[in-house]
Structure 1
């Protein structure tokens, strides 16, 4: 009977030791993940803290490009109108030349 009790206690302690080893391994893994997450949080915080200035500059640049594009579109319309007038004048001039011949 004593032998059975000792064997059962050894089996229980073996199972408890196995569980304790697994828990210890999981704790180490969690600690490593915590260190990685803290590092990622630090890096992302550094990047995001600079974002408002970066985005503000890019928005200003975009606004300037849009204004410049609008100016160029206006100039393009004016040139197209001028070319249309020149084409119309050329057509009238060629008709005038035909009548004179």
Structure 2
């Protein structure tokens, strides 16, 4: 039985599609929660690339960096949700266009 693997180009196309979806979300949305989800999509696209190339080259370095990226994403979500909650308390909205008036 011959085990055939998926070519790395397929992972790159998937990663590019996920990254472009996240970039589109950042450029077009005004909702702070959509910003956070779009950044998560972009980080997941980077993780797909890291793991795909790690498997392609037969090393675990890319997988290690992907784990660090996941830890970074978890910290980003924790801080981002706190900022969104403060934004909602002050303006009763999560629109980022209203946050420009936020002062000390």
Shorter-chain TM-score bucket reads 0.3 to 0.5
Task: Name the structure, 1 or 2, with higher relative contact order (CA <8 Å, separation 6+).
Answer: 2
> So what's the TM-score if we normalise by structure 1?
0.34
TM-score, L = length of structure 2: 0.33
